[in-house]
Amino acid sequence: MFNMKATTVRNVQHNLAEVLSWVERGEEVLVYRRKKLVARLLPPVPERAETPDFVARARGVWGDEPRGERLSEIASHARGDR
């Protein structure tokens, strides 16, 4: 899903709106001057949703000290002698 286009500095100067529309569509654009790469235009990184605070959620459900066996002990018993 990674698209890449190449163009020249002159084309960017004369057709900036078109080049930016490529970037808006998620394409990477390489810009060349005299066959030498001088720039790379990239779409912005999508904003990520904030990661949930799982520890705070667990404390809200079970408090600071959960009761019962530790998960590692439960898994160890379930594995047996493996």
Locate tokens 């959620």: which residue? 57
Question: Tens digits of per-residue pLDDT, 17-63?
Answer: 999 999 999 899 999 999 999 999 999 887 777 888 888 888 888 88
Q: Name residue, tokens 């404390």.
A: 59
pLDDT grade, residue 64 (50/70/90)? Answer: confident
d(CA 36, CA 55): 51
User: How does 4-28 read in b/e, with b if 16+ C-beta sit within 10 Å?
Assistant: eeebeeeebeeeeeebeebeeeebe
Q: What domains are defined for the chain? A: 4-41 (3.40.1620.10)
Q: pTM score, two decimals?
A: 0.54
